[in-house]
Structure 1
Amino acid sequence: MSTIQLKHVTFGYDSQEKTIFNDTSLKLQTEWKLGLIGRNGRGKTTLLKLLQNELPFKGVIQHEQTFHYFPQTVIDKQQSTYDVLQALCSVDQWKIERELRLLAVDESSLWRPFDTLSGGEQTKVLLAVLFVDEQNYPLIDEPTNHLDQIARQQVVSYLQSKKMGFILVSHDRAFVDEVVDHVLAIEKSQLILYNGNFSVYEKQKAMRDQFEQNQNTKIKKEIGRLKHTAAEKAEWSRSKERDKLGSPKKLGSGGIFDTGAIGARAARTMKRSKAIVKRMEEQANEKEQLLKDIEYVDPLTMQARKTHHRMLVSAEKVQLGYDYPLFRPLSFEIEQGQRFALRGGNGSGKTTLLAAILGTFSGNLQGNLTIPKGITISTVRQNYEDNRGTLAEFAEENGLVYADLLNNLFKLGVERTVFHTRIEQMSMGQRKRVELAKSLATPAELFIWDEPLNYLDVFNHQQIEQVIQMIQPTMIVVEHDARFIDTIATNVIDVIPVNAFKESER
């Protein structure tokens, strides 16, 4: 057993006003299968870079590990996969073949050019390299990109079978839930370690947030009482000051004015009053320091419109393709308020079916596909690199209410400082949020979303689920996150390739 220990680590990027980690101390056991959770921009990938000593920081990080990071950088993707892997980590061929078999990757992939492998195959072979040498400590950053549900489950089984520990960053909650035994949450102002998987983290975080919210409510009431008392004492003091400056009063029996005595008494009274005010204000300030900076996730808004059409999409024995059909005939009807999920492996034709519904498919269509004329469709696309310009220009070009676009972007975790950045200069995560915020702000009768969760954090997933459950729009969704589909979909359509074996239908 060995440890990774952070002692008083402080780090912040020069381009950001606030630090990401401030005097952070943490101790991790290397045999843990640790899930690293947090909103985008909170420092998950930054922490992995700090462990690898790739960024300057204040403090100490102690460990005895050789870290291997996923995804690795492939310099020459036209090389054979075997040569790519040897360049990353020189190792015996049989060891690589053993790992590929565990990941259900055909060993012949080793002799194909790396760039001819599918995205899922590339992910798997790069994962295999991490575990070939058990002396390395894997840092796994978003391994589910490009993986369909079958491939994700294969990777789940693979990681479950490993006895060695690792640190995993993933926004797929079901995936994390199945493979980790500890969770490190990077929250708004602190790092919190949980003993258990993602479900344990969610339950314990909800309980802790509720407790801290209750404590905050009590503290705020006490602060209010102290400030009110201080204000009363201050006003009383001011009234005595006015009395002192007013007409002098006679003494009880002598009839002689003793303005000096009156002034002395007023001064003593004011001094005591001001001391009380100061003490009350200090107590209020002390109480304010006890308030917890709780991680709030604000609800999104969605501009779904009703329509007089009962049925929005009708498919009767539909097949699509170019030289030959991609999938077996599909028949379905989508009525208002229903949310259909398209389920199938990579390359099965799900995105092609969405293109046909949107009227952008240029290949061969067999069967009947009907969509009522005049309905507005709002989309989230896989490829949104054509989103460009300032957010104000983007809103005007897409007929959006600018305030609605900014409101949802901020709720999705995009800092206000980014609002003045041109879209093409934003990070991929920020650009994905622009695409999603656009769709949410577009008044529409039908929403078509193609892999909406890519680049989004687990808190965004929860926000999207909540707004869909609240608004109940009519939707067609392609998404490989099984938990998301289980939560929002009313129906599932299996898209089965024409050359699939019978087992694929199970």
Structure 2
Amino acid sequence: MSTIEIKNLSFGYDNQEGLLFDQATLNFDQHWKLGLIGRNGRGKTTLLTILQGKLPYEGQISHQLDFVYFPQAIQNKHQLTYYVLNDICSFEQWELERELNLLHLSPDILWRDFTTLSGGEQTKVLLALLFIDQQHFPLIDEPTNHLDMLGRQQVAEYLNKKKQGFIVVSHDRNFVNEVVDHVLSIEKSQLVLYQGNFSVYEEQKRLRDEFEQAQNMKLKKEVSRLKKTAAEKAEWSRSREGDKTKSRTGFIDTENRRVNKGAVGADAARTMKRSKAIVTRMETQASEKEKLLKDIEYIDPLQMNFQPTHRQRLLTVEKLSLGYEEKVLFEPVSFEVNKHERIAITGPNGSGKSSIIRYLLNEFDGQVKGNVQLSTHTQISYVRQNYEDNSGTLQDFAKKNKLDYSIFLNNLKKLGMEREVFHNPIQQMSMGQRKKVEVAKSLSVSAELYIWDEPLNYLDVFNQEQLEQLILAVKPTMILIEHDIAFLKKIMTKQIHLK
């Protein structure tokens, strides 16, 4: 049995405050299937990069195998898929075709231009290449971003059949729940291991946090008591110092008799010395107790500028069908969107989900059949699937989109964006940070209808819980497209499935 041992790992970037990892220690078996969990910016991808030996660090990492990273770097995507994969590593064609079949892909895909493959198809062929190699330990970073519900289920079944271990980073809780037997959580610069799948992790984490919160309450009360006692003793010590000063001038007792100045001074000095020792001891104990306080990860509630109007029905769709030239995207659909309803539009990639949204926003340029009634005065807040054109400073971005700057920044902070990132141009931010900008913008816009197209891409599980709690509390009117079935089950009131 081969193990991977991490001992006293410390690492931080020069341009960030604090360390991502501070004396972190972990041991795990190479046959375990680990789900790597943590807030965006807390070091998930950094840890995978460190394991590959691509970043300097303090501490020790011991193992007897090499690591391989997904998604693999592609040198030239403008060629046949077979040659794209062959540029990454050498392989036997029959082995690759075997893996493709397991992923429900025809081997014919190897002879298509790589750029013509959908995001989900590209993900699958790269995973197939990854698991041909039995000698390396796979580090799988965000495999679900471009997969629809069916694709995620197929990849989950594929990973379940693998006997070799791996580390997978994914923000799809249902996917992680199906494929892992251990969860590795990054918590306040430490690596914490949980045995079991994501559901077990959530329960164990909840119990652990409740216990630590109770311990924190006890410790805070004890610290408060010790500090109060220290302050009282310090005050008493100062009063005894006053007695000593009075004795030097010839203190007169209540019977108007002069007392021995030396005796009073010596007694006051001894009492003061004892009281100061007590103060020092109390302050030391309080300081030691404070060190035991756990810095628990709290999830701050977000704000949503939902402005419901008097209208009960916002949208009516009757026998709607969209297409291009002779190709119809989906069978005719009919549905209504009433106030406080949250409608999920589902279906495989390419079925026309985003086309419906573009049509509702007057951005669809194909053929339309059916009838749609949506008031032109309806205030809509939109989370786009593609938001790469967001640019400039956050302040300029807020001004351009007529956002309340303080609410916008507050939501970004609550979504976990670091303060030092606030000064960066949006186009220089990571994809996760740019997604938070797009979501925070939508939350800040005054709206009676929210249209969200794949809002969870690049957001961590903590952000997903924040959005779930917000939506269930505010009950906004929504139309959304999302492949995370766990998220949809919690927040949707109605599902429209495209065929």
1:475 corresponds to which letter in structure 2?
A: M
Q: How does 1:58-457 map to 2 (within 5 A)?
A: 58-246=58-246, 248-250=250-252, 255-256=257-258, 258-324=260-326, 325-457=328-460
Deviations 1:340-380 (A, max 9, x none): 00101111111110111122223322111111232211111
Partner of 1:132, secondary structure, is coil
Q: Which deviates more from structure 2 when the two are superposed, residues 129-138 or residues 221-230?
A: 129-138
Contact 1:336/1:474 (8 A) holds in 2: yes
Q: How many Å apart are 1:251 and its aligned residue?
A: 5.3
2:316 corresponds to which letter in structure 1?
A: S
Deviations 1:427-464 (A, max 9, x none): 11111001101111112100000000001001111111
Distance 1:312 1:37 in 2: 39
Aligned to 1:32: 32
Q: Which deviates more from structure 2 when the two are superposed, residues 9-18 or residues 69-78?
A: 9-18
Which 4+ stretches in 1 moved above 6 angstroms?
A: none
Distance 1:218 1:255 in 2: 51
Q: How many Å apart are 1:241 and its aligned residue?
A: 2.8
Q: Which deviates more from structure 2 when the two are superposed, residues 52-61 or residues 123-132?
A: 52-61
Distance 1:112 1:386 in 2: 30
Q: How many Å apart are 1:243 and its aligned residue?
A: 4.0
Distance 2:114 2:3 in 1: 36
Distance 2:354 2:236 in 1: 73
Aligned to 2:473: 470
Q: Which deviates more from structure 2 when the two are superposed, residues 360-369 or residues 210-219?
A: 360-369
Contact 1:304/1:444 (8 A) holds in 2: yes
What TM-score comes out, normalization by structure 1 length? 0.95
Q: Which deviates more from structure 2 when the two are superposed, residues 254-263 or residues 333-342?
A: 254-263
Contact 1:251/1:258 (8 A) holds in 2: no
Distance 2:436 2:231 in 1: 46
What TM-score comes out, normalization by structure 2 length? 0.97
1:263 corresponds to which letter in structure 2?
A: G
Q: How many Å apart are 1:264 and its aligned residue?
A: 2.7
The match for 1:479 among 469, 477, 482 is 482
Distance 1:469 1:366 in 2: 34
Q: How many Å apart are 1:389 and its aligned residue?
A: 1.6
Partner of 1:8, secondary structure, is strand
Query: Size of the alignment, in residue pairs?
Result: 496
Q: How many Å apart are 1:253 and its aligned residue?
A: 7.3
Deviations 1:228-259 (A, max 9, x none): 11111112222333344456422577933533
Contact 1:250/1:258 (8 A) holds in 2: no
2:366 corresponds to which letter in structure 1?
A: G
Q: Which deviates more from structure 2 when the two are superposed, residues 219-228 or residues 263-272?
A: 263-272
Long gaps (5+) in structure 1: 497-506
Partner of 2:7, secondary structure, is strand
Q: Percent of aligned pairs with the same residue?
A: 60
Partner of 2:83, secondary structure, is helix
Deviations 1:402-445 (A, max 9, x none): 11111111111101111111211211111100110111111210
Q: How many Å apart are 1:267 and its aligned residue?
A: 2.3
Distance 2:415 2:81 in 1: 38
User: Residues 261 and 87 (structure 1 numbering): CA distance in 2 closer, same or farther, change over 3 Å?
Assistant: same
Contact 2:32/2:181 (8 A) holds in 1: yes
